[in-house]
Amino acid sequence: MKNRSLVSITDYSRDEILKILSLAAEFESKPSQNLLSGKVVATLFFEPSTRTRLSFESAVNRLGGSVIGFTDSSSSSVSKGESLKDTIKTVSNYSDLIVMRHPLEGSAKYASEVASVPVVNAGDGANQHPTQTLLDLYSIQKTQKNIEKLNICLVGDLKYGRTVHSLLMALSYFKPVFYFVSHSSLQIPNEYKIFLREHSIEFYESAELREFLSVADIAYITRVQRERFSEPMEYEKTKNACILRGEMLENTKSNLKILHPLPRVNEITTDVDNSEKAYYFTQALNGVFVRQAIITSILGLV
Ligand code: CP
């Protein structure tokens, strides 16, 4: 992992993923240390974010490092027409590691090719969100005491949801059974079904959440990604298709945990928040420890 960019979750082997999860547990027991003293991490967010940016920044601050960057590219020289390449080459001179979110699929890979420091993909369009996946895996392992052979129900926008795409690929190292629930126009793309068949991973599809909820160990709910739709009416047609309500948790497994990468819009009703099966806010907290593990591994400090 040392000095390597993290662009796609497939950049990490099964053993490397397990190493990050183990390190994250160590950071959870001791989140404030001085490991990043003298190090500068740049956070370049060309798209909005609450959790990813702030948990990265919290992770760095708690380890004694410094953060530079922007939260809105209109406040950078990109607004004057500067290219992504020139921006990344410049920021490489000011930092030891770049964390970047960008609306274009493939932008993180491109940035990693032109940067002189490692680049961490904080989400590139509908493609990948590998650090979210690592915190999702950490949350799964922590709540289930195990990560192998689980029944994983992926719900919502399976077409545009980058967290779903990264998570599916990473979990495939651990022999899950997948249950996909979505509106017919937001089904998991074919390329991922081909990937699952090639890896002999069982999967089932439905438009009805109740059909699979009773067998799930993990229900991973996602919002419909309004910003990815070119046609607003298409969003309107799909936005209420899969909603988890409190009463639907009756007759579910005792170990079921509800995960969501957040932000939530309407796809989990707020009465679910009171259930001991709701885990999404703790999941967001886990992002700090997992990102501490990622940064210190890449910088070769652990
Ligand atoms: N989960 C996630 O990526 O959240 P933000 O968009 O708030 O960073």
CA of 282 relative to ligand 1 center, distance in Å? 14
Phi–psi pair at 89, nearest 5 degrees: -60, -40
* Measured distance CA(88)–CA(127) in Å, rounded: 20
* Measured distance CA(71)–CA(35) in Å, rounded: 25
Q: Is the CB of residue 99 below 6 angstroms from any atom belonging to ligand 1?
A: no
Q: Does pLDDT of 29 surpass 90? A: yes
CA of 296 relative to ligand 1 center, distance in Å? 21
CA of 253 relative to ligand 1 center, distance in Å? 28
CA of 122 relative to ligand 1 center, distance in Å? 9
Does the predicted model carry a pTM greater than 0.85? yes
Mean pLDDT value across residues 91-100? 98
Q: Which atom of ligand 1 is nearest to the CA of 54?
A: 8
Beta strands in the chain (DSSP E): 40-45, 66-70, 97-102, 119-124, 151-155, 177-181, 203-206, 218-221, 257-259
For residue 35, how far is the Cα from the chain centroid?
A: 24
CA of 20 relative to ligand 1 center, distance in Å? 20
For residue 282, how far is the Cα from the chain centroid?
A: 14
Q: Give residue 3's pLDDT.
A: 96
Q: Give residue 240's pLDDT.
A: 87
The closest residue, in CA terms, to atom 5 on ligand 1 is 49
Q: Give residue 228's pLDDT.
A: 87
Is 24 exposed, middle or buried (CB count within 10 Å of its CB: 0-12, 13-18, 19+)?
Answer: buried
Q: Does pLDDT of 227 surpass 90? A: no
Mean pLDDT value across residues 144-171? 96
Mean pLDDT value across residues 119-139? 96
Q: Does pLDDT of 97 surpass 90? A: yes
Q: Give residue 189's pLDDT.
A: 96
Q: Give residue 208's pLDDT.
A: 95
Q: Does pLDDT of 44 surpass 90? A: yes
Q: Does pLDDT of 6 surpass 90? A: yes
Q: Does pLDDT of 86 surpass 90? A: yes
* Measured distance CA(103)–CA(180) in Å, rounded: 25
Rg, Å, the chain Cα set: 19
Length of the chain measured in residues: 302
* Measured distance CA(269)–CA(246) in Å, rounded: 7
79-111: b (≥16 Cβ within 10 Å) or e = eeeeebeebbeebbeebbbbbbbbeeeebbbbb
Q: Does pLDDT of 59 surpass 90? A: yes
Query: 216: left (phi > 0), else alpha (psi -120 to 50), else beta?
Result: beta
Q: Which CATH number fits domain 130-284: 3.10.450.50, 3.40.50.10470, 3.40.50.1370, 3.90.1640.10?
A: 3.40.50.1370
**pLDDT, averaged across the chain:** 96
The closest residue, in CA terms, to atom 4 on ligand 1 is 51
CA of 66 relative to ligand 1 center, distance in Å? 21
Q: Is the CB of residue 130 below 6 angstroms from any atom belonging to ligand 1?
A: no
Q: Does pLDDT of 107 surpass 90? A: yes
Q: Is the CB of residue 287 below 6 angstroms from any atom belonging to ligand 1?
A: no
Q: Give residue 63's pLDDT.
A: 98
Q: Which atom of ligand 1 is nearest to the CA of 55?
A: 8
pLDDT more than 70, % of the chain: 100
Helix axes 130-144, 280-298, angle to 10 degrees: 120
Domain ranges for the chain: 9-128+286-298, 130-284
Mean pLDDT value across residues 278-282? 98
Q: Give the list of residues 6+ apart from residue 231 with CB closer than 8 angstroms, or none.
A: none
Return the CATH number of the domain spanning residue range 9-128+286-298.
3.40.50.1370
The confidence band for 199, taking pLDDT boundaries of 50, 70 and 90, is very high
Counting ligand 1 atoms within 8 A of each CB, the residue from 49, 55, 129, 265 with the most, and so the one to mutate, is: 49
Q: Does pLDDT of 230 surpass 90? A: no
Q: Is the CB of residue 187 below 6 angstroms from any atom belonging to ligand 1?
A: no
Q: Give residue 152's pLDDT.
A: 98
Q: Do domains 9-128+286-298 and 130-284 have the same CATH topology?
A: yes
Q: Does pLDDT of 232 surpass 90? A: no
Q: Give residue 241's pLDDT.
A: 87
Q: Does pLDDT of 280 surpass 90? A: yes
Counting ligand 1 atoms within 8 A of each CB, the residue from 44, 127, 262 with the most, and so the one to mutate, is: 262
Mean pLDDT value across residues 279-296? 98
Q: Indicate the range of 46-50, 152-156, 162-166, 224-228 predicted with least confidence.
A: 224-228
The confidence band for 119, taking pLDDT boundaries of 50, 70 and 90, is very high
